[in-house]
């Protein structure tokens, strides 16, 4: 059988619609992580529940790659907007993932302006930005699909780490300093694992909320079927 495609979701609600689309052949549990082995148009598809957070997504991605040796990994789910022009149910296809969980505590934090406990965020001790680029061939393929020629689908940069930013000034600073337009937890861990094992991966996120313009968190998104449509039409 040909090498499978892995589709990831952190929550059960982010993979349920996929499980209803594809024919489930088997369910495998590896170290507490669940993988649904499916078939779509005679091609193997693995639906992976990564659980929440960068560490869990890194573990789930590593286990999936080692067991299934996939063609590529599609890391999908939801994200919070960091810019005014994004609305709920817009779709971001990540060109680059910037890691936002690294920080250090400043000795005199009350003298700093914005979230001083994150003085070295995004950077190594050598002051380098930590980021992961999407596979260019994969991006080129996606850009050629008719389904992506819509006004609410954007190719842009995603911030990722075990954080949930609610401070609007910090959101704007993230965008101004690093060019990220939304924030999601699992992308960085999945990219770290896939890049280490030399398997192409791309992250796709549906915007769930935008606190800058007052759009509250929406649990059930109509366009959560985007990944399913991508495979049916692409």
Residues 93-112 pLDDT 10s? 999 998 887 766 556 555 55
| Residues 177 and 47: beta-carbon distance below 8 Å | no
pLDDT-based confidence at residue 122 (cuts at 50, 70, 90): very low
Closest CA to 48 of 38, 69, 34: 34
> What is the average pLDDT value for the chain, to the nearest integer?
83
Other Cβ atoms closer than 10 A to 112 = 12
Residue 35 CA to residue 33 CA, distance in Å, equals 7
Q: What is the pLDDT of residue 223?
A: 45
Burial category of 71 from C-beta neighbours within 10 Å (exposed 0-12, middle 13-18, buried 19 and up) = middle
Residue 215 or residue 198, greater confidence: 198
Q: CA-to-CA distance for 58 and 206, rounded, in angstroms?
A: 20
Percent share of the chain, pLDDT over 70: 81
* Per-residue confidence (pLDDT) for residue 116, from 0 to 100: 45
Query: What pLDDT is attached to residue 222?
Result: 47
Q: What is the pLDDT of residue 30?
A: 95
Q: Print the SS3 string covering 83-106.
A: CCCCCCCCEEEEEEEEECCCCCCC
**pLDDT value of residue 112:** 54
Q: Please give the pLDDT value at position 117.
A: 45
- Whole-model pTM above 0.95? no
Q: Could you tell me the pLDDT band of residue 74, with boundaries at 50, 70 and 90?
A: very high
């Amino acid at each position: 059988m040909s090498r499978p495609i892995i589709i990831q979701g952190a929550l059960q609600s982010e993979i349920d619609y996929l499980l209803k689309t594809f024919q489930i052949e088997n369910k495998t549990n590896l170290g507490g992580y669940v993988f649904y082995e499916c078939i779509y148009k005679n091609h193997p598809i693995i639906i992976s529940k990564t659980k929440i957070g960068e560490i869990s997504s890194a573990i789930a991605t590593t286990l999936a790659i080692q067991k299934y040796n996939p063609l590529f990994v599609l890391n999908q789910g939801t994200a919070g907007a960091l810019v005014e022009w994004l609305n709920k149910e817009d779709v971001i296809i990540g060109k680059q993932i910037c890691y936002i969980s690294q920080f250090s505590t400043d000795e005199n934090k009350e003298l700093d302006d914005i979230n001083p406990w994150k003085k070295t965020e995004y950077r190594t001790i050598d002051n380098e930005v930590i980021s992961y680029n999407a596979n260019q061939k994969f991006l080129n393929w996606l850009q050629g699909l008719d389904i992506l020629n819509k006004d609410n689908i954007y190719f842009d940069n995603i911030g990722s780490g075990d954080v949930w930013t609610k401070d609007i000034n910090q959101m704007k600073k993230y965008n101004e300093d690093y060019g990220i337009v939304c924030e999601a937890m699992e992308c960085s861990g999945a990219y770290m694992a896939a890049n280490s094992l030399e398997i192409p991966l791309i992250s796709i996120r549906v915007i769930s909320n935008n606190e800058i313009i007052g759009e509250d968190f929406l649990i059930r998104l109509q366009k959560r079927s985007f990944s399913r449509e991508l495979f049916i039409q692409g």
